[in-house]
Amino acid sequence: MADVLFETGIAFLALALAGALAHRFGQSVIPAYIVAGVVVGPYVPTEVAGVSLALVTHGEFVTTAAEIGIVLLLFFLGLEFDVSYLLSQGRELALLGSVDFLVNGAVGVALAYAFGLGPLGAVFVVGIVFVSSSAIVTKSLTDAGWLANPESRTILGTLVVEDIIVAVYLAVLAAVVGGGTLAGAATSVAGSFCFLAVLALVAYYGSDHVERVFDVGPDELFVLRVVGVAVAVGALALSVGVSEAVAAFFVGTAFSTTDLVERIEHLVTSLRDVFAAVFFFAIGLDTDLRVVAGVALLVAVAALATTASKLTSGYAGGRLTGLDPRRSARVGIGLLARGEFSLIVATLAAASTVPAIRETVPPFAVGYVLVMSILGTVAIAREGVLTSRLA
């Protein structure tokens, strides 16, 4: 018991230190958390000056906490999901989403084939390279003071469509990975969508009841109820082969139209951030830098190609929503960062039955996210240099 507690303590301290460093240098915490996991995890670096650095193993606690992190990340995505916004901006969002998905998805497919990962590999790579990180982008926009500018509406609108595509994509992917054969996968996808459809309907029509059932006085009882439902529904989904992340997303949407949103944001956000940090840390624990070095070429080519494609799709999206050239360029720059979703896709790839995918895709995703999260944050901070000629 003391061992587990000790490892957990080291894990949290490593996260705290990494987070503080990232903050100090104006970087996103996500790459820092991954690096923290790499440093104290079982792979290189394993020692420094004779002192062992293999301090934390990927035990049951880390696995469970990381899983709760994924559930809470997607729960919040659902919580902030606004159907009326979606309906009122439908045409524009559909346009933004299609440009974004087609341009970046095509690059993903090309990358997967160029590096011999085949059709299933392409499905994974598309997911990893296409979705921008809502967490990093929103945080960076706030820090850079862009939120009140017109381009941020296009950027955040694109993120909203990406979130929907991700929800559908993860639901399909989780079912495909679990299904095995093609027929099995088809059944699994169908079953998964039935489950999610029921969940979505319950969430939609149950909102009024949600408000009553969850409106309890003491804060701790409220938090326990919310987290309890999100995790339990996620677990139920997982037990029938449905993505727990997408299930949690729909649980979040059930709360999104109630007056409880502000209270949840106020009380549960820090809990989400702690568990999400463990999720990124767990990714780091599983990362063998030597393996990442083995896919360095793929990471480099992917980083270049998808930076170009995101800048292109963002610029096109900006022009389509009536922004001037400089603001349109900012849309692309704003969307460069990839993060949590790419890593959730990577955890699914790690469970794949196909060896080539299991061994190549997760380290690629980690290397790619490390590069793109830092690149995305720096690009927003240095935007003036990049776009001044367009002004």
Closest contact distance (angstroms) between CB of 176 and another protein is 28
Closest contact distance (angstroms) between CB of 331 and another protein is 14
Helix (H, G, I), strand (E, B) or coil at 145: coil
Closest contact distance (angstroms) between CB of 366 and another protein is 25
Cα 369 to Cα 136, 249, 253: the distances in Å are 11, 22, 27
Comparing CB distances to another protein, the nearer of 187 and 387 is: 387
Residue 73's contacts (CB-CB under 8 Å, 6 or more residues apart) are 135, 245, 272, 276, 279, 340, 344
Comparing CB distances to another protein, the nearer of 52 and 388 is: 388
CB atoms within 10 A of CB 113: 14
CB atoms within 10 A of CB 191: 16
- Residue 236 has which token pair? 């139920």
**In the chain, beta strands by DSSP E:** 47-48, 51-52
Comparing CB distances to another protein, the nearer of 25 and 85 is: 85
Comparing CB distances to another protein, the nearer of 160 and 247 is: 160
Closest contact distance (angstroms) between CB of 33 and another protein is 21
Query: Alpha-carbon distance 153 to 132, whole Å?
Result: 15
Comparing CB distances to another protein, the nearer of 112 and 167 is: 167
Comparing CB distances to another protein, the nearer of 164 and 235 is: 164
Secondary structure (DSSP) of 29-69: HHHHHHHHHHHHSSSSS-EETTEE-------HHHHHHHHHH
Comparing CB distances to another protein, the nearer of 324 and 359 is: 324
Residues in the chain: 391
Comparing CB distances to another protein, the nearer of 220 and 262 is: 262
List for the chain the helix, strand, coil content (%; round to 5): 80, 0, 20
- Residue 305 has which token pair? 């190609």
Closest contact distance (angstroms) between CB of 373 and another protein is 17
Closest contact distance (angstroms) between CB of 365 and another protein is 23
For residue 339, the 8-state DSSP code is: -
CB atoms within 10 A of CB 350: 17
Closest contact distance (angstroms) between CB of 177 and another protein is 28
Closest contact distance (angstroms) between CB of 210 and another protein is 17
Binding site for another protein (CB under 8 A): 80, 82, 85, 134, 138, 142, 145-149, 152-153, 156-157, 159-160, 261-262, 265-266, 269, 324
ω into 45 cis (within 30 of 0): yes
Closest contact distance (angstroms) between CB of 61 and another protein is 28
Secondary structure (DSSP) of 166-229: HHHHHHHHHHHHHH-SHHHHHHHHHHHHHHHHHHHHHHHHTHHHHHHHH--SSHHHHHHHHHHH
Comparing CB distances to another protein, the nearer of 219 and 265 is: 265
